[in-house]
Amino acid sequence: MHNVIRNFKKNKELLFMVLPVTVWLILFSYLPMFGIVIAFKDYKIHKNGFLYSLIYSKWVGLKNFEYLFKTDAWLITRNTILYNIVFIVTGLIFSVTFAILLCEVANRRLAKFYQTTMFLPHFLSWVVVGYFFYGFLSIDKGFFNQILKIMGKEPVLWYSDPSPWPFILIFMNLWKGTGYGSVVYMAAIMGIDKTYYEAAMLDGASKWQQIKHITLPMLKPVMIILTVLALGRIFNSDFGLFYQVPRDSGALYDVTNVIDTFVFRGLRTFSNIGMTAAAGFYQSIMGFLLVLISNYIINKIDSENALF
């Protein structure tokens, strides 16, 4: 006990610094975990409040999960996983590439301009982006359809044709996320010892050889950590991207419906809180397992770069 008090006095400034984050984690990450039981209940909202409803709602076991897997579980899981795999791979490639390119720009003012231009989309709401995008794809006044009319071609029913939407969603995710994703890699590149590059230049290494043999190997630990963390969220989707950009068009559900939008529509349309809680629980458990599996694989391949 004496050692605990002494350590507290010694590190009290640091402990007080992390106190707000600790409180935030407890309130918004740990306390809500008690609501997991809703996934196993026929939850009915009662006038006496949340706790009364939670305690006195009827237990239904795994019926909520049965309902989930009898409806669209396969479709929404497939879409969520495939989109996120593509997002992780393309996001990694584009973020690393643009980070390296920006660090190679000799003019610092020009580099700052490029970085700001790339970073700006991250701050735009998907609601705003969805309305701007509608201005391009609208059937009657959309920019693209107006060009097609001038060319003498029939307008395209963008919000009724699912075929181009996987490519549209991938492009929009890259457009909005590449600038933000490149920041971490830029910081890592800035931290690389410049003597490595100086030695490489003395040995006659080209710029590409410096990137291949110095920059990329030095970025490898950061790339692995961020990829493992992204894998942990592979069952989570950007709700705004999949709901606001396609404007909740029913004709596009086969390619735009993911777990997050399914939960929202189920709650809004059927008010089935138990089923939506089951979908969220399924989402969290699978993400947790993926983090453990991916970290285990990395431990076997290269234990120094594993998370734990």
Euclidean distance between the first and final Cα of the chain, in Å? 29
Give the 3-state secondary structure percentages of the chain, helix then strand then coil, rounded to 5. 75, 0, 20
Predicted structure pTM score: 0.80
> Which are the contacts of 188, defined by CB distance < 8 A and separation ≥ 6?
218, 219, 222
Asked if residue 228 belongs to a domain, the reply is: yes
pLDDT band at 168 (very low <50, low <70, confident <90, very high): very high
Find the range with the poorest average confidence among 2-16, 88-102, 108-122, 271-285. Answer: 2-16
Tokens of 60: 């239904």
Q: Which domain holds residue 219?
A: 62-305
**Total domain count for the chain?**
1
Q: Is the pLDDT of residue 83 over 90?
A: yes
Find the range with the poorest average confidence among 41-55, 141-155, 174-188. Answer: 41-55
Asked if residue 48 belongs to a domain, the reply is: no
Asked if residue 194 belongs to a domain, the reply is: yes
Q: Residue 207's domain is classified under what CATH number?
A: 1.10.3720.10
Helices (H), 138-258: 143-150, 165-190, 194-202, 207-210, 216-232, 239-243, 253-256
- Contact yes or no for 272/278 (Cβ under 8 A): no
Asked if residue 45 belongs to a domain, the reply is: no
Asked if residue 7 belongs to a domain, the reply is: no
pLDDT on residue 73: 74
Q: Which amino acid is at 245?
A: V
Asked if residue 81 belongs to a domain, the reply is: yes
Q: Is the pLDDT of residue 185 over 70?
A: yes
- Which secondary structure element, helix H or strand E, spans residue 284, and what is its range? helix 273-301
| Measured distance CA(168)–CA(162) in Å, rounded | 10
Q: Is the pLDDT of residue 50 over 70?
A: no
Give the tens place of pLDDT for each residue, 96-136: 999 888 888 777 788 788 878 888 888 888 988 888 888 88
Asked if residue 183 belongs to a domain, the reply is: yes
Q: Is 83 buried (19+), middle (13-18) or exposed (0-12) by CB count in 10 A?
A: buried
Percent of the chain with pLDDT over 90: 10
pLDDT band at 307 (very low <50, low <70, confident <90, very high): low
Asked if residue 20 belongs to a domain, the reply is: no
- Which residue from 246, 260, 95, 258 is spatially nearest to 176, judged by alpha carbons? 95
Question: Rounded mean pLDDT of the chain?
Answer: 83
Mean pLDDT to the nearest integer, 198-202:
87
- Contact yes or no for 102/115 (Cβ under 8 A): yes
Give the tens place of pLDDT for each residue, 72-81: 778 888 898 8
| Measured distance CA(161)–CA(158) in Å, rounded | 5
